[in-house]
Amino acid sequence: MNRIRLTAAQAIIKYLVAQKTVYQGQQVNLFHGVMAIFGHGNVAGLGLALHEYEDELPTYRSHNEQAMAHTAIAYAKTHNRQRMMACTSSVGPGATNMVTAAALAHVNRLPVLLLPGDVFASRRPDPVLQQVEVFADATISANDCFKPVSRYFDRITRPEQLISSLPVAIQTLTDTENCGPVTLALPQDLQTMAYDYPESMFEVRVHKTRRTLPDQCELERASRLLAEAKRPLIIAGGGVHYSQAAQTLSKFSSKHLVPVAETQAGKGALNWDHSCQAGAIGVTGSSSANTLAGQADVILAVGTRLQDFTTGSRSLFNPNAQLIQLNVGRFDAIKHNAVSLIGDAKVTLKRLSESLSDWHSQSDWFETKQQLVDIWNASVDELTKATDTDRPSDAQVLGAVNRHAQADDIVVGAAGSLPAELHKHWRTTHDKGYHMEYGFSCMGYEIAGGLGVKMARPDAEVYVLVGDGSYLMMNSEIASSVMLGHKLIIVVLDNRGFSCINRLQNSVGGESFNNLLDHGTKGESPDINFAAHAAAMGAESEQVTGIDKLEQALERAKQADKTYVIALKTDPLESSAAGGCWWEVAVPETSSVESVQVARQRYIDALKQQPN
């Protein structure tokens, strides 16, 4: 057996270079590159190895470890999990900064390879700088925080362990069911240790999407239930995108006349004006889709976890409806006492359609869908139209952006008020035109995620819509986007604080407290100049007032050749009342405040909508 002598760090990078995939008909690297912030825990090992292989696996410098992992995750999501990135940090705070991003990737079933440095395997210099010591267990380090938020975790303490660990890591990252973050904790001395690795370990391997075929008995049962349905509804989740099943879903729904409602992750599965499009579903959804969900007799959920925002905390669906869960993941397929249909969405929808033959829903059901959608679209037109107010609503802002975006452009969002407005009102014209991180709803994802989207789709204009709260939490990747030459158009909606949670606080009977900058601040309320701040990081920027000025600024932003930030003040109290449904937020059982008592009674009444 031929062998090659490499350090553990060199072996890792050489192995990643050897991993290939087929994307859009071409063989390309599985790993686009490595996002890196160097410190004493990785600069001498992985840092030198990455420099050595720079021509084969690019390294991208970032400004925040959590942000760089968000960027990598967004890149993978935009590529439907077929391509991905790795991230490396030093030991200590650099590593633990990535834990939040690992949790985000875990919840959203998205691949990212995390390579945090770790304390010395030899333990000779213990305790080292940034080491977390657990007095009762010397084997624990800060990296153990990654264990509950990783699909696969390994601490490499000898260089030859990579021979068995790396294949498992890649298998997890590319597995359609178990996909998610992988963490390989790398002690800094281990990274520099050499070993004679077998050359066969570094042979090129091409990874292709594994498509799980449905069980025939499950397929037949689901087919019988649908064939008996008079008012069927499909709920499209993120799995539709990851299976590359958007066209298959379009054909299925059109042939069988089944309305399609979309989750946050599933939005864009059908274009906004598709004949079978029913709109966004759930708490952040449309009146059209939610009304249909309450009337449907059979619901086919495709590639979704059916989390509480989708189901209205289990209150949205017709209680007599039969739920079928088509999902590649066994864990998800049985949720809500569903009839499971385990399999790849693309393959299974095709086989289900063949089994159903010429069956389709009742014509009056499809007519009802269209009537409801027409009413909803008229509502969207009204809510997103331009006005002359100095403090427009979020819906009016996104309406302006949507009107200026081209067919192939992409909008990015994550947390606060904007996910509801975007889910309801953004009109998507292609399957990747809507990029929302709402599985973890992580504030600070927006700009970093937008960078990852732009890296994946450099020819598209990427619009990042971000509230002032999220902007203040994480804005460093504006500098990264300028440095890397990846232009973003960022619209900062300054509503003076955490307006989304302020409205939730009011809805449960509470007074505005500790959420808005103008309510409850003990010192002077800051008037933050977001445009000046962005300019200080190298972006072009401007502060505008009102929709008319915003639309003019958007045209200037489109002509710019680098990241362009537009800031404007918005109404913190206004949100779109149309659409949506109840969401369970527990209200105190006892309170001396009358408004809380009233909210508690509303809560008790609403709980009756849930199944026992």
Residue 612 has pLDDT above 70, yes or no: no
How far out from the chain centre does Cα 242 lie?
12
pLDDT tens for each residue of 99-126: 999 999 999 999 999 999 999 999 999 9
C-alpha distances in angstroms, 131 versus 102, 183, 185?
20, 18, 14
Question: In residues, how long is the chain?
Answer: 612
pLDDT tens for each residue of 565-604: 999 999 887 778 788 888 889 999 999 999 989 989 998 9
545/567 Cα distance (integer angstroms): 9
With the C-alpha atoms ordered 585, 591, 595, 600, is the resulting torsion angle positive or negative? positive
The whole model's pTM is what? 0.96
Residues 6 or more apart whose Cβ sits within 8 Å of residue 537: 475, 476, 478, 479, 482
Q: Is residue 593 part of a domain?
A: no
Residue type, position 234, single letter: I
* Average pLDDT taken over every residue of the chain: 95
Q: Give burial (CB, 10 Å; 0-12/13-18/19+) of 136.
A: exposed
Percent of the chain residues past pLDDT 90, beyond the cut: 88
Same domain flag for 232 and 198: no
At 553, list the tokens.
């600024």
Asked whether 50 and 60 are in contact (CB, 8 A), the reply is no
Same domain flag for 40 and 153: yes
Among 152, 180, 207, give the residue marking a domain's end.
Answer: 207
Q: Is residue 579 part of a domain?
A: no
At 111, list the tokens.
């691949």
Same domain flag for 239 and 183: no
Same domain flag for 448 and 322: no
Q: Is residue 412 part of a domain?
A: yes
Q: Is residue 91 part of a domain?
A: yes
pLDDT tens for each residue of 245-261: 999 999 999 999 999 99
How far out from the chain centre does Cα 309 lie?
14
Same domain flag for 185 and 331: no
213/328 Cα distance (integer angstroms): 9
pLDDT on residue 511: 86
In 3D, which of 74, 85, 149 has the Cα closest to residue 115?
85
SS3 4: strand
215/343 Cα distance (integer angstroms): 8
44/301 Cα distance (integer angstroms): 49
Q: What's the pLDDT band for 611 if we cut at 50, 70, 90?
A: confident
CATH number, domain at 16?
3.40.50.970
CATH number, domain at 316?
3.40.50.1220
Domain count, the chain: 3
Same domain flag for 193 and 229: no
Same domain flag for 417 and 281: no
pLDDT tens for each residue of 596-608: 899 899 989 989 8
Q: What is the DSSP string of 494-555?
A: E-SB-HHHHHHHHHTTPPP-SSBTTSS-SSPPP---HHHHHHHTT-EEEEE-HHHHHHHHHH
Q: What's the pLDDT band for 280 if we cut at 50, 70, 90?
A: very high
Q: Where are the beta strands (DSSP E) in 328-401?
A: 339-342
Among 187, 207, 227, give the residue marking a domain's end.
Answer: 207
pLDDT tens for each residue of 27-39: 999 999 999 999 9
Same domain flag for 51 and 12: yes
Same domain flag for 22 and 170: yes
Residue 331 has pLDDT above 90, yes or no: yes
How far out from the chain centre does Cα 138 lie?
36
Q: Is residue 607 part of a domain?
A: no
At 514, list the tokens.
């500790």
Among 357, 375, 393, give the residue marking a domain's end.
Answer: 375
Q: What's the pLDDT band for 516 if we cut at 50, 70, 90?
A: confident
Q: Is residue 113 part of a domain?
A: yes
Q: Is residue 461 part of a domain?
A: yes
Q: Is residue 56 part of a domain?
A: yes
- What is the domain range of residue 446? 385-569
pLDDT on residue 513: 83
Asked whether 595 and 441 are in contact (CB, 8 A), the reply is no
Same domain flag for 203 and 220: no
Same domain flag for 367 and 229: yes
Same domain flag for 93 and 197: yes
